[in-house]
Amino acid sequence: MPRLDTIEMVEDIISDKKEFSSKNRLWRALPKQVQYKTFTTILDYLEKSNKIMYDKKGAILWIFADNPKLKKLHMKSKVLR
């Protein structure tokens, strides 16, 4: 099982660049070495949690809505029942 800091490291790299053309390019761009099995487990988790998606060519795209304006708007909104 991947550790939380490893998951966050992969998330940060993808969210900063927004797109990688392949898994291999992303794996090589990581600041520290991660076993490939752990890496693919992290990517599976990120895909299931709707943070990344793959296009037809296999590129990895960051799709998570982490816009600061959106967060601010959410904090100010009223809860409807």
Task: Give SS3 for 53.
Answer: strand
What confidence tens digit (pLDDT) does each residue in 5-31 have? Answer: 999 999 989 888 888 888 889 898 889
Q: What is the reported pLDDT for 67?
A: 67
Q: What is the reported pLDDT for 17?
A: 85
CA-to-CA dists, residue 53 to 28, 30, 39, 80, angstroms: 19, 18, 15, 31
> Burial level of 60, CB count in 10 A (0-12/13-18/19+)?
buried
Total-model pTM: 0.77
Q: Which CATH code is given to the segment(s) 4-76?
A: 1.10.10.10
Q: What is the reported pLDDT for 39?
A: 92
What confidence tens digit (pLDDT) does each residue in 26-61 have? Answer: 898 889 899 999 999 999 999 999 888 888 888 888
